[in-house]
Every structure is written in structure tokens, then in C-alpha cells.
Structure 1
């Protein structure tokens, strides 16, 4: 056990698992026990509390909204990179090119990155589409980026990343980002202006956005939910999609019980079924 870590009993672990499921829909497996100890010990110490039991008591009885957010932030995992699962961006590029060809200049285009982490996903969407389809500068084009973790949202909104984020990118793609000096890169202002970062808990009963969205990315988010919660979230996302829109999910995910209204059109790419019905009509 590292210095500063606190022992975690089975009962305390069960209480923490119950609370994070209740407030964020996150289903922690027993394999996450070490992660829980590592990430929460520093918070418990900072609050001057003697145990994890005392910490959960504090959250339930006296904790502020900020304390509750710190708890959730500590237990979320944020692994992302630019152009992750490249085939999704290739498909989106083709979809949006089709919209541009069929709709008048200035048309509304809305894309949602649900579970945006530190921002690489929504910024990739913006950079890639603007570079490939300059006509979008004359469209009403906006990207909504949400995450439950307020700490990663603050980093994302800054639009500055370490230069090693370019590793693995082609020279053409690397040129889409600006050099900011001191080993940093920056998202160009034209792309930053497209993206609005907002906190959102996907298991909240009421989402503030109304849609419709022309594409929704919800990748590697549902893996932290149990099966019923996954089905509910994907079903709700489907209700916010425009008729010809697409839902992009993570490579290890499936829609489960939320997939009844969708048809698979590509690798982890889904479209609502009514499009199929209309085509057949």
C-alpha cells in the first residue's frame, strides 16, 4: 500500500460501489478496488477523515455539491486521443459531405460528443470536417461536448495539449493543430469556437438538450454502466437523432436492449430504423 492510502474493507467498498452507481450509473467491478483506494485516499486525507466509511457518511450527510463532484471525478477514467477509431471520422465525413450536397448553404448541423473526456474527440470532429469540407464555414455548425467529470471539461475547454498527443498522427493531420511552444499544441480558434463544453450526467432523468443531432458519438462511455443502464442511455440517444443521423459507439460496446430502434450500418455505427422503412416505402 502506498504512503497515504487508507485500508478499504469489503463493507466500505460495497458502500462506495453503491454510491457511484446511484449518482453516476457507474458499475464498479471488484477489479477496480485498487483504483478506488488509490484515487479516493487523497480526498479522504485532505478532508481529515479517518476512514472510507467516514467519507461516505460525510458525503451522505454534510457533503457539498462540490464534494460530490470530486467523488465522481476521482472514479471516472479518461482515456482518449485524437482520431481514435478513425473509421468513425471517415464515415462522418462522408455523411456530412452528403448533407452538404443535398441541403442549402447555411443549413443547421449539430453533432454531440457524449462523454468527451479531455476534448480530443469533439476537436477531432471539428478539425476533420472543416479541413475536408470548407463549405461548413458557411453552415450553422456546432458541436456539443459533455462529460460528467468537470475536471476533464476544464482541461478540454482550454484546448491545449502536450506535443506528444501528435504521436501516431500523419503529418497532414498533425498540421491541423497549432504549435503553442513549451512542448504544447493548441486547437485552432476556428475549431474551438465550434465546440461548447457542458457538464452532464447521462443517467439524469432530464437532459437539457433537445436535438435533433445529425451525429452522436457516445464511445467507451457505456462500458462503465450495467446492461439495463446501457439500454436506457442508448434508447434515449436514439430519440435525439435526426432521421438520417448516425450513432457511433465504442469498439467493445453494443446497444443491448437499447438497440431495438437501430440498425447496424458499419463497424459500431448505427442508424435509426425508420430510415430503412422510408427507403422501402
Structure 2
């Protein structure tokens, strides 16, 4: 055991699994035991507590809001990058181009990145669409990025990243990001101004307004059990515009939440609802 780590009994591990499931919907497998010890030990020590039992007791009996949030932040996983699973962005580009063709200039376009982590996904959406469809500058175009982890949202809002984030990007895509300064790159203001970041727990109320023309929720549901996955995807359906799209992770499926969707591409689902026809005057 590393310096500063706290020993974890089976009962304590069970209590932690139950706690993170109840507050965040995250289903921890037994394989995550080492991760729990390494990520939570420092917090337990910093609070002056002697055991994980004492820590869970503290969380359950009037912990400060920030301490409850720190528990969730420590147990979330935040792997992301620019243009991850880029076939989704190819599809979104075609979808938005069709909306532009069908709707008048200045129309409303809303896209939600749920589980946005450190922000690369919503920023990719903005950079990709603005570069391909510059007429969007004359639209009411906004992107919402949400995550349960407040620490990653703070990083996302800064819009700055290590230069290493450019690794693997084509020269055309890399040019969309401002040149590195002191080893850091920066998302252009025109894109940053499109994106709003807000904390949101998918297990609680969603203070968001639809309809959305697209929702990205990729590699988030893999941390949920099947009933939770179905419930979340079903809620997304109710917030999508008719015939709008949901993009999920490569290893995910909608399960019981798929009733309102049809599969139209690799991990791309379309809302089955049809637009209402306007009655003749």
C-alpha cells in the first residue's frame, strides 16, 4: 500500500459503491477497488478521518456541499480528446447543412454535449461546424456542455489545453485551434462564445430546455447499469427535436431507452418523432 493510502474493507467498499450509485448513477465493479483507494485516500486524510467508514458516515450525515462534490469528482473518469470518433462530426455536419438549407437565416440551433468532461467535445462541435458552415455565424447557434464533475468543467471553461492535444490531428483541424503559447493551445473566442458550461447530474433534475437538434452523450452510460442507461436515453429522447440525432459511445447501446429512436449509423440514433405539419391558412 502506498504512503498515505487508507485500508479498505469489503464492507466499506460496498458502502462507497452504494453511495456513488445513489448520488451519481455510477456502477462500480469490484475491479475498481484499487482506483477507489488511490483516489479517495487523500481526501479521507485531508478531512482528518481514520477510515472509509468514517468518511461515508461524514458524507451521509451533513457533509459540506463541496465535500460531497469532491467525492463524486474523485470517482469519475474523464478521458476525451478533440474529434474523438470523428464519424459523428461528419454526420452532424451533414445534418446541420440540411437544417441550413431548410430553415431561414437566423434560425435557432441547439446542441448538447452531456458528460463533456474537459470540453474538447463541445469545442470540436463548434470548430467543426463554423469552419464548414460559416453561415452559422448568422444563426442563433449555441452549444451546452454539462458534466457532473465540477473540476473538469473549470478546465473546460478556460478553453486552454496542453500543446500535446494537437497530436494526431490533421493540419487542417490543428489550424482551427490558436497557436501554442508557452506550451498551451487555446480555443478561438468565436467558438468559446458559443459554448456554455454547467454542472449537471444526469440522475437528478435536468434544468435544460429543448428541443435540441443534436445531443452527444458518449462514453458516459458505460458507467451506469442497464436500467439507468435506459432511463437516461429515454429522457434524452424527450428533449430532442423531431428527427434530431443522439450520438453515443462506440461500446454503448440504448437498451430499454431505445423505443423512441431508430439506428441510422454507427452509434447514431434518430428521434422517431415527425415534425408537425403546419395547417394551411
TM-score by length of 1: 0.97
Report what 1:167 is aligned to: 167
- The aligned runs of 1:230-241 (5 Å cut-off) are 230-241=229-240
Distance in 1 between the 2:4 and 2:250 partners?
Answer: 37
Q: Distance in 2 between matches of 1:275 and 1:7?
A: 55
Q: How does 1:1-281 map to 2 (within 5 A)?
A: 1-204=1-204, 206-275=205-274
Q: 1:274 deviation in Å?
A: 2.7
Q: Which runs of 5+ in 1 are unaligned?
A: none
Counterpart secondary structure, 2:81: coil
Residues 113 and 145 of structure 2 are in contact (CA less than 8 Å); yes or no, is this contact kept in structure 1?
Answer: yes
Inter-partner Cα distance in structure 1 for 2:220 and 2:62: 30
How far the C-alpha of 1:272 sits from its partner, in A, is 1.4
Q: Which runs of 5+ in 2 are unaligned?
A: none
Question: CA separation of 1:255/1:173 partners in 2, compared to 1, >3 Å: closer, same or farther?
Answer: same
Count of matched residue pairs = 277
Secondary structure of 1:113's counterpart equals: strand
Counterpart CA distance in 1 for 2:41 and 2:11 is: 16
Q: Distance in 2 between matches of 1:42 and 1:180?
A: 34
TM-score between both structures, scaled by the size of structure 2: 0.97
4+ long deviations beyond 2 Å: 274-278
Name the SS of the counterpart of 1:274 in structure 2. coil
RMSD of aligned C-alpha atoms? Answer: 1.2
CA distance in 2, matches of 1:85, 1:134: 23
